[in-house]
Amino acid sequence: MADNNKNPVISVVQMMRPGQWAKNVFVWAPLLFSGEFREAAMCFKTGIAFVSFSLAASAIYAINDVCDRKEDQQHPVKKNRPVARGEVGVNTAIITALVLLALSMILAGRLNLQVVLAVLLYAGITIAYSLFLKRIAILDVMTIAGGFVLRILGGSLAIGVAPSHWLVLCTIMISLFLGFTKRRAELMAFEDNTELARQVLRDYSAAFLDQAISMVTAATIVCYALYTVDKRTVDVFHTHAMLLTVPLVMYGLFRYIYIIYHLKKGEDPTSTLIRDIPTIINLIIWIVLALLIVSYGGSFDFFPAVAV
């Protein structure tokens, strides 16, 4: 039941889900791994790209809430979303989405046409996901992965650097990992009440998702490890020391699997990751270590240049 005394502006902001903007940190990855974060102009351009993708994402959330409002009203958690509760009307949600998309395009246009196209493509596939792709098993998770790749490409195009093919592969694998683990967490959460679960979960099984998670976990670790020792990486950073960050990535993946299987959480990956203290500490250590390695290069090269 809607709260008639609630500030409508607050309801609209909640519909935008600013907490989910954390997913757009992938836009910053090219800035970090290119070493361009020492340039204020590059940081500013990446910031604009980040805001552009965030506004586009909020627009899609509004469209998604309009499309799913009837289903959300039957969901134990999603029923509290502003559109489902009637705090934000359908027309208001659609107008808000259009305004947010327009602002997103304006910001992207301040960078270059390529970023505009990347944001448009991101918005297009995400809308397609909201309308029908999220109901198709496997393709639903792969579509989510495509959105993360476009964030990486958007960040790269904003500062004019080409992303490493290993970085793109790592992004695909980690997003598949998050997608399949989310589906498993949802499947377990609604195993006793499938009527409330999202439609696509009926086409998944715990056994299949366990195998998929195992595959993408291994692939993520291998891709990231190969990225750290790739010739281009070593040439750019003047060091082999990025290899030191591999254990942190492994811990992050294993910790999340622990959260999914042992703690029985993970329906919302963003919320889970930003609230889990060990994960936060591990992420901070990874960021600091990566920044030091990228900044000081050869000073961190503890590995011999010639294999023995």
Q: Furthest-apart CA pair in the chain: how many Å?
A: 72
Residue 39 sits in the same domain as residue 110: yes
What percent of the chain clears pLDDT 70, i.e. is strictly above it?
A: 90
Domain membership of residue 306 (yes or no) is no
Domain membership of residue 2 (yes or no) is no
pLDDT band at 308 (very low <50, low <70, confident <90, very high): very low
Which residue range(s) make up the domain with 17? 7-163
Residue 140 sits in the same domain as residue 184: no
Instruction: Point out the least confidently predicted range of 36-50, 199-213, 217-231, 285-299.
Output: 285-299
Residue 184 sits in the same domain as residue 156: no
Pick the most confident of 32-36, 116-120, 233-237, 239-243.
Answer: 116-120
Domain boundary among the residues 106, 131, 163 is at: 163
76-112 pLDDT, tens per residue? 777 788 888 888 888 999 999 999 999 999 999 999 9
Distance separating alpha carbons of residues 252 and 133, to the nearest angstrom: 29
Domain membership of residue 308 (yes or no) is no
pLDDT band at 3 (very low <50, low <70, confident <90, very high): low
Angle between helices 113-131 and 40-67 (to 10 degrees): 20
Distance separating alpha carbons of residues 204 and 198, to the nearest angstrom: 11
Angle between helices 113-131 and 139-159 (to 10 degrees): 170
CA count, 13 A, side-chain hemisphere, 5: 0
CATH of the domain at 118: 1.10.357.140
Model pTM score:
0.82
pLDDT band at 33 (very low <50, low <70, confident <90, very high): confident
Domain membership of residue 103 (yes or no) is yes
pLDDT value at residue 186: 83
Pick the most confident of 14-23, 120-129, 259-268.
Answer: 120-129
Domain boundary among the residues 141, 163, 185 is at: 163
pLDDT band at 306 (very low <50, low <70, confident <90, very high): very low
Residue 242 sits in the same domain as residue 260: yes
Residue 221 sits in the same domain as residue 283: yes
Residue 123 sits in the same domain as residue 264: no
pLDDT value at residue 78: 77
pLDDT band at 301 (very low <50, low <70, confident <90, very high): low
Residue 151 sits in the same domain as residue 180: no
Residue 141 sits in the same domain as residue 168: no
pLDDT value at residue 307: 47
Contacts of residue 65, Cβ cutoff 8 Å, sequence gap at least 6:
15, 72, 81, 82, 83, 84, 88, 93
pLDDT value at residue 124: 92
Angle between helices 90-109 and 113-131 (to 10 degrees): 150
pLDDT value at residue 303: 58
Residue 196 has pLDDT above 60, yes or no: no
State how many domains the chain has. Answer: 2
pLDDT value at residue 255: 92
Domain membership of residue 52 (yes or no) is yes
Nearest residue to 268 (alpha-carbon basis) of 259, 277, 278? 259
Residue 205 sits in the same domain as residue 102: no
Domain membership of residue 68 (yes or no) is yes
Higher pLDDT, residue 186 or 146: 146
Residue 156 sits in the same domain as residue 203: no
206-237 pLDDT, tens per residue? 899 999 999 999 999 999 999 888 888 888 78
Domain membership of residue 29 (yes or no) is yes
- Do residues 282 and 251 lie in contact, with contact meaning Cβ atoms separated by under 8 Å? yes
pLDDT value at residue 251: 95
Distance separating alpha carbons of residues 118 and 26, to the nearest angstrom: 14
Domain boundary among the residues 144, 163, 182 is at: 163
Residue 103 sits in the same domain as residue 189: no
Domain membership of residue 122 (yes or no) is yes
User: What's the one-letter identity of residue 39?
Assistant: E
pLDDT value at residue 102: 94
Distance separating alpha carbons of residues 186 and 192, to the nearest angstrom: 11
Residue 78 sits in the same domain as residue 182: no
Residue 44 has pLDDT above 80, yes or no: yes
Contacts of residue 45, Cβ cutoff 8 Å, sequence gap at least 6:
111, 158, 159
